[in-house]
């Protein structure tokens, strides 16, 4: 059986993957967090969005550089294999397959279900109906990507354009309204915090934006199915990241012009949409949020279904001869896709028990798994960036020395930001109450167990 996947996707699909996976539900609601952290200071919030965007694009430019050199099956695994060797690449791919991709996918399934129910007036986001609908969305996304991959690609492109409509509309209309009534000018001339208040506010706001920018690396999973991948994948990463940064910042400015910051801090983006477009605008916001979540879920599931396959074609992992098989009828690794659905179902149950259940079911191991894997994925990037310098540093200082060093700094910043937001701050709060809580520590234990189990299936290649 031919285990190669068809070259079915073009540059537009690749760009849509980058944009569509990153722009999910977060952009609609992170503006509220940014405003709260900066005390309603719009210019300081814009600076936070810029810093978060720089972290994303610096890392993406390094992978774009690798993408122009290497092409095999799965971009992330290909690049780590070319720089760090087969075992490092295998463990990175195993972590992505078992933990990183599914943790975000199950969270997006729940968010899609939550906002669907809210659209119809139900605010029960933790009940059985919401969980059942999330499971249904997971199954639908699995079937869509596994049985109709071409249609799934077109769906990714369509939802990407649809989710950009409310963002661009608010950016343009909000700016016009703000300039006409003087709100925008007033916000940009407001006093800026000074000293420690400025630094702490900017850092906390940047942490909030950091998670809104996450997910771009997942687009590299279609490496082997992308036409002219060495050219198109780097272009997609750069264009996609630039579009995301521009959209986020202009949308944020539009929100600030459409409604007073006090209302935005209290009620979020919905206040701006209601102010400019009325009740219809508020309803349409939820419609577009659901579409946005479904598009992101589609892209994440696309990556999940190819995870085990990308390891198996290298004759690594459990039963590689089984999971490297590609169905002749749909040209998809269906065995790998089925396992992906099972893994996602497991993490959806965990997400419900750890985050949504009234009493956490997993004790100290109850934490938000949708964001904590950011710590370890960026930690895995750091050795890769250093290896770029060692392997290719003599070929050009800017691209192969300066850029990787900036990527290292960006990755370290992201790691510290995530640890601060999910480890240090919760630990201090719990300690003040005489309790012990350190989600990062217990997440790292889970991460270590995942790698140990994965290492048991690693097959050392013969020289």
Please write the tens of the pLDDT for every residue from 218-256. 777 777 788 888 888 889 888 999 999 999 999 999 988
Q: Which residues contact 346 (CB under 8 A, 6 or more apart)?
A: 102
Cα 51-170-270 angle, rounded to 5 deg: 90
The pLDDT assigned to 150 comes to 83
Using DSSP's 3-state secondary structure scheme, residue 9 falls into: strand
Residue 401: per-residue pLDDT: 96
What does the pLDDT look like over 6-21, one tens digit per residue?
A: 788 888 888 888 888 8
Is residue 36 within 8 Å of residue 267, measured between CB atoms? no
Contact 292, 24 (CB under 8 A): yes
CATH number of the structural domain 11-346: 1.20.1740.10
Q: How far is CA 13 from CA 21, 209, 243, 263, 439, in A?
A: 12, 25, 14, 37, 36
Number of H helices, E strands in the chain: 20, 0
> Domain segments of the chain: what residues?
11-346
Whether 272 contacts 65, CB under 8 Å: no
CA torsion 341-343-346-352 (nearest 10°) is -80
Q: Check residue 305 and give its pLDDT.
A: 92
Residue linked to tokens 């995530």: 418
Three-point CA angle 374, 290, 264, nearest 5°: 75
Report how far residue 375's alpha carbon sits from residue 416's, in angstroms, rounded to the nearest whole number.
Answer: 8
Instruction: Please answer whether residues 53 and 245 qualify as being in contact, where contact means their C-beta atoms are separated by less than 8 angstroms.
Output: yes
Q: Quick check: 208 and 33 in contact, CB under 8 A?
A: yes
The series of mean pLDDT values per 10 residues for the chain, 463 residues long, is 71 86 75 84 90 90 87 82 94 95 90 87 83 94 89 84 87 91 82 68 79 79 80 88 92 89 82 82 80 87 91 92 90 93 95 87 84 89 95 90 95 84 68 75 94 90 50
Q: Which residues of 103-135 are buried (b: 16+ CB within 10 A; e: fewer)?
A: bbbbbbbbbbbbbbbbeeeeeebeeeebbebbb
Nearest to 83 by CA among 65, 95, 57: 65
* 8 Å CB contact between 209 and 56: no
- What is residue 121's predicted lDDT score, i.e. its pLDDT? 81
- SS3 of 379, please? helix
Dihedral sign from CA coordinates of 442, 445, 451, 457: negative
Using DSSP, state whether 279 is helix, strand or coil: helix
Angle (nearest 5°) at CA 369 between 422 and 206: 40
Record the tokens describing residue 447, joined without a space: 């991460």
Give the Cα separation of 427 and 435 in Å (integer). 9
pLDDT of residue 461: 57
pLDDT at 426: 66
For 313, what's the count of Cα atoms within 13 Å in the CB-facing half-sphere? Answer: 21
- Kindly state the tokens that stand for 251: 């949308």
**Distance separating alpha carbons of residues 288 and 112, to the nearest angstrom:** 11
Beta-bridge partner residues of 9:
226
């Amino acid at each position: 059986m031919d285990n190669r996947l068809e070259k079915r996707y073009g540059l537009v699909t690749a760009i849509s993957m980058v944009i569509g996976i990153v722009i999910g539900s977060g952009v609609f609601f992170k503006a509220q967090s940014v405003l709260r952290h900066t005390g309603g200071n719009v210019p300081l919030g814009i600076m936070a969005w810029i810093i978060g965007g720089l972290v994303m694009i610096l890392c993406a430019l390094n992978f774009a550089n690798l993408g122009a050199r290497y092409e095999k099956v799965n971009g992330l695994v290909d690049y780590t294999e070319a720089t760090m060797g087969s075992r490092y690449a295998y463990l990175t791919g195993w972590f992505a397959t078992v933990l990183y991709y599914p943790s975000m996918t199950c969270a997006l399934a729940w968010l899609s279900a939550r906002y669907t129910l809210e659209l119809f007036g139900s605010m029960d986001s933790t009940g059985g109906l919401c969980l059942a609908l999330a499971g249904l969305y997971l199954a639908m996304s699995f079937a869509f990507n596994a049985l109709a991959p071409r249609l799934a690609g077109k769906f990714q492109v369509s939802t990407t354009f649809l989710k950009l409509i409310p963002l661009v509309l608010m950016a343009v209309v909000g700016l016009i309204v703000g300039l006409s009534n003087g709100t925008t000018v007033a916000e940009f001339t407001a006093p800026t915090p000074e000293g420690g208040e400025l630094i702490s506010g900017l850092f906390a706001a940047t942490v909030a934006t950091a998670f809104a920018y996450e997910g771009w690396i997942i687009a590299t999973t279609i490496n082997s199915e992308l036409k002219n991948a060495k050219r198109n994948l780097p272009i997609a990463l750069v264009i996609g990241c630039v579009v995301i940064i521009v959209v986020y910042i202009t949308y944020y400015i539009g929100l600030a012009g459409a409604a007073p910051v006090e209302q935005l801090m209290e009620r979020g983006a919905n206040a701006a949409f209601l102010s400019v477009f009325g009740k219809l605008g508020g309803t349409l916001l939820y419609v577009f949020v659901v579409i946005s979540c479904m598009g992101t879920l589609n892209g994440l599931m696309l990556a999940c279904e190819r995870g085990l396959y990308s390891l198996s074609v290298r004759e690594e992992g459990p039963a590689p001869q089984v999971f490297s098989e590609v169905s002749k009828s749909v040209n998809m690794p269906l065995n790998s896709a089925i396992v992906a659905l099972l893994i996602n179902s497991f993490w959806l149950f965990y997400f419900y028990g750890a985050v949504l259940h009234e009493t956490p079911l997993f004790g100290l191991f109850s934490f938000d798994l949708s964001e904590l894997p950011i710590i370890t994925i960026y930690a895995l990037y750091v050795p890769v960036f250093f290896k770029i310098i060692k392997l290719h540093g003599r070929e050009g200082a800017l691209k192969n020395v300066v850029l990787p060093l900036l990527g290292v700094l960006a990755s370290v910043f992201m790691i510290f930001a995530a640890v601060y937001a999910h480890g240090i701050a919760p630990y201090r709060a719990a300690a003040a109450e005489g309790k012990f809580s350190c989600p990062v520590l217990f997440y790292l234990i889970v991460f270590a167990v995942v790698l140990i189990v994965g290492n048991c299936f690693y097959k050392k290649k013969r020289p």
